[in-house]
Amino acid sequence: MKNLKDIFYLEMAYALAEKAKGWANPNPYVGTVIVHKDVIVGHGYHVKSGQLHAEALALQRAGPLSRNSTAYITLEPCVHWGKTPPCTEAILQARLKRVVISALDPNPLVFKKGFKKIKQAGIEVSSGLLEEKNRRLNEVYLKYITKKIPFVIAKAAISVDGKIATRKFSSRWISSQQTREYFHLLRGEYDVLMVGINTLIKDDPLLTVRHPNWKGKKIVRVILDSHLRFPLGAKILSTLSQGKIIVFSLKKASQKKADALRKKGVEIISFSSQTLDLKEVLSWLGKNEMSSVLVEGGSRVLTSMFEKKLVDKIIISISPKLIGGKQAPSLLQGEGAGFIKNSLHLKRTNSFQIDEDIIMEGYL
């Protein structure tokens, strides 16, 4: 009975944590529920970096009723000072009777330390319940906090024969309107939207978050542009209020063009290497607290990301169309695998249907 109650209240805490998606980055998504004699007396989730953590907010709402209560927390409470005080201190001061933690925090500053501090204070504490749920919810954070590089998602709309455009590079629209709306909804969950310069030149996209569920949401736009071919009249330059634009290029590119783009508000990051190193790009983003990157193409960028094994997750829509043509770009080009055993194999796959399209997700 106790275990069923714990699951029930932890599920509620996870429902709160889900609300932080796309807003709390690079911090984890955390929810907390405080229960006293089967009555919820406090609840909260970590809304945004710099604001109160879920535990502190829930305890603040519970006030004196938190004494001798049980706290249900989706992730191990922090023990260190950051932008906010340690959550373990708030827990000890609240004089809780019991703490149920779903998952331990892999952050080296926290891992097992929060659990240990609560236990040493004489409070009954447990962990591990619904841990898999936390792994799925915080997949971005789990990679970022341990490796200091962003979690990378490759997204594409393809035909049944794997094409992302025709031989004339026409791609509007392979997927249905409903599918495109779903992908716009997904955009808001991530920190960075990345494309190659060819996509910018051919499609002239805005690369903004426009779904009504994400009012006020900004996203960093990253353009991979070795030789600074970025058009000075591109539509994206009118959207700087909706997120920064960062162009990664090489130092040998035109400094005159770089200065012109800077005057328009674009940030230019130049590398001294002969070719643009995608690992170096991701490392730079990680150092600047960008924890997730959604790669939307084109084919050269996606292929390079796959070949260098930099993609963590793939989300594709497969539409009931046959495009054909040797010159039509595919999702994955390059030399390709010589044997099936050497092909990239998706794990933990999931699929569902939107209109006539099949949406497939998997991990590499």
Backbone angles phi, psi at 337, to 5 degrees: -75, 140
Known catalytic residue at 18: no
CA–CA separation, 85 and 337 (whole Å): 51
Let me know: does 56 contact 28? Beta carbons within 8 Å: no
Question: Six-digit token pair at 259?
Answer: 């200065």
Q: Which residue of the set 55, 76, 189, 296 is catalytic? A: 55
Q: What is the chain's alpha carbon radius of gyration, rounded to the nearest angstrom? A: 23
Q: How far apart are CA 172 and CA 174, in angstroms?
A: 6
Within 10 Å of residue 160's Cβ, how many Cβ atoms? Answer: 12
Strand partners, 271: 250
Report the C-alpha gap between 259 and 9 in whole angstroms: 55
CA diameter of the chain: 70
Helix (H) or strand (E) holding 94: helix 87-94
CA 243/CA 10 separation, integer angstroms: 35
**Among candidates 329, 290, 319, which has minimal Cα distance to 203?**
329
Q: Where does residue 300 rank: exposed (0-12), middle (13-18), buried (19+ CB within 10 A)? A: middle
User: 170 CB contacts (<8 Å, ≥6 apart)?
Assistant: none
- d(Cα 184, Cα 194) in Å, to the nearest integer? 14
Tell me if 162 sits within 8 A of 319, measured CB to CB: no
- Spatial CB neighbours of 176, under 8 Å, sequence gap ≥ 6: 319, 354, 355, 356, 357
The Cα 269–Cα 274 span in angstroms is: 14
Residue numbers annotated as active site: 55
